[in-house]
Structure 1
């Protein structure tokens, strides 16, 4: 009898801490594997958007009408800003061209039906084949296999790493901390305004990094081929495509690095594959006003709202006429000529 009681005591000593860890991780849910929302998990740190959003799509099946894809710039666009669309924002930090197909196909599989629309924010930096070497994330297949493994979301409940993120999320939520780069439970990412002094430091750092890592060692990648494969993968889906509006200093740097021909090739490939695009990446009333930017690369969420309105035709409020020019085969050459003229380049 004493031995039996001793066994029970030992098991309780072992199991109780594990149950407490699992319960706490479930309650805060930093991996977005479950569906509950409350005041103590209202702030969520984005420690690996690929894992978190892939898990979210896997364990929250919902018939979305539209899929949004792109890099961190697009993560700050509220999916609810695409009015009349039930859209899911699958954008993640530094999403590259090579990742589009697998993530789009997986999202369709989890959706259980074709998307009516796939909305893509295109980044010029991603056309550089050499940025693949700068991407520190695993391939899409890694994350898809990870969340698809048997018992994945229950096994993660016992993870001490997950526990640490749960603790941080709990503290932020409990204390109502407004922290940039965090999400709420509806997949909306926070980016509050900072001072101009802080911004100028970030812009300088961005320009140094892009000038050294992205625009210095440049090789135009298989852009057209990637787009063509994506269209073939989703023959019954309408693509809504736009270029992301980097700030004027970063755009100017690209031109100064002699990449106007590659920029033209990118716009041309996009138009010829998708039929039309909205080009926000030029000198315009939004990109030349640094009040609209967190740094040289990322616009504030309210600019994302303007983008969503423009590309969906939901323009009850007047938008800047020069922000988001629709480019198709008919006006492509003229548009590129205008770009060259604005930048002081002889095409």
Structure 2
């Protein structure tokens, strides 16, 4: 190989790497800054755990938040700005399980940029299922201990470049709101540079079809034998904070499948008892209600409710609105009465 080819070969990385870094910085697929560019107005969620952690670590200002909101994808649709009594950071991620809560709490506290006073938990029935393995959250340790180096590595990485290309692709060709896409539970949430979900309304006729198809994802579910233990361990660590617990709503098609399955119905009542047993009180919205009945205009797929609908739940748990017709408030004192009420509600619902 002659000298000119060697020079070109050696020079190539010095040309490519800066381009990769510049593209990744402009598009910011890992949410490492809050600057707004023409390419990050609509941020695609390829991995909310990494992205929201990056946003909190690098784009959060001291005193900006005092409340941590944790939950699954159903809770990602609760807008931070809709909370009026709390300065909320929505750390909810797709498929978040109770055993993860403590890891995120430790990460937030280690940053020392949040004067944490409150915790809000959005619990859902699906997260009470048994799990065989735990998620690898080791990236949080590197992000926390090597803040500058981690960011530099991400900006210069070809993995991040791949996500930049994916974000550009979804900007040019947004995911379809059709039955196959929504039934497949495609990651089609988009965010603003301020960690706010962009509400995208789906045709009600499509929502109806999707909800009936997706409501089948529970068969084979078994209840986690460590559910109470996972919740209790977390509660033990948050004694210094005020706590609000609520459950996310489900559509009528989902509730029909849940109540008509003997095992799922048994797990459902066990779930209620264990939640209340650990946390003393819960705002309970996972039952037949105005939200479940009007699901075609309130959610996109049967269990992910639009921000315009979750705002009502926020108003209720912040005491600005009545819970009547939307759910019930359950505590240890009224638990038996509440369980009887739900049983009667189910019987009427199934007629």
1:267-307 deviation line (CA, Å, top 9, x unaligned): 22222322211000110111111221211221111111111
Equivalent-residue separation in structure 2 for 1:143 and 1:304 (angstroms): 31
CA contact (8 A) 1:114 1:237 kept: no
1:249-275 deviation line (CA, Å, top 9, x unaligned): 212211211233332232222223222
* Residue 47 (structure 1) aligns with: 46
Q: Which runs of 5+ in 1 are unaligned?
A: none
TM-score, with structure 1 as normaliser: 0.86
Query: Residue 246 in 1 paired to residue 250 in 2?
Result: yes
CA contact (8 A) 1:310 1:324 kept: no
1:229-268 deviation line (CA, Å, top 9, x unaligned): 1121111101110011011221221121123333223222
1:28-74 deviation line (CA, Å, top 9, x unaligned): 11101123112321111100111111122222343321000000000
Match of 2:265 among 255, 260, 263: 260
CA contact (8 A) 1:69 1:121 kept: yes
1:79-108 deviation line (CA, Å, top 9, x unaligned): 111113111000000111221221222222
Question: What SS does structure 2 have at the residue aligned with 1:249?
Answer: helix
Q: How many residues align?
A: 329
Q: CA RMSD in A?
A: 2.6
Question: What SS does structure 1 have at the residue aligned with 2:119?
Answer: strand
Higher mean Cα deviation, 72-81 or 27-36? 27-36
CA contact (8 A) 2:28 2:40 kept: yes
Equivalent-residue separation in structure 2 for 1:178 and 1:207 (angstroms): 21
1:170-197 deviation line (CA, Å, top 9, x unaligned): 4666x69698411110111234221233
Q: 1:99 to 1:124 in 2, by over 3 A?
A: same
Structure 1: which 4+ aligned runs deviate by more than 6 Å? 5-10, 175-179
* Residue 185 (structure 1) aligns with: 193
Query: Residue 314 in 1 paired to residue 320 in 2?
Result: yes
* Residue 143 (structure 2) aligns with: 147
CA contact (8 A) 1:271 1:329 kept: yes
Instruction: Report the Cα offset of residue 226 of structure 1.
Output: 1.9
Match of 2:167 among 166, 169, 189: 169
Instruction: Report the Cα offset of residue 128 of structure 1.
Output: 1.7
* Residue 301 (structure 1) aligns with: 307
Higher mean Cα deviation, 331-340 or 112-121? 112-121
* Residue 91 (structure 2) aligns with: 90
Higher mean Cα deviation, 189-198 or 83-92? 189-198
Q: 1:340 to 1:189 in 2, by over 3 A?
A: same
CA contact (8 A) 2:44 2:170 kept: no
Equivalent-residue separation in structure 1 for 2:318 and 2:6 (angstroms): 64
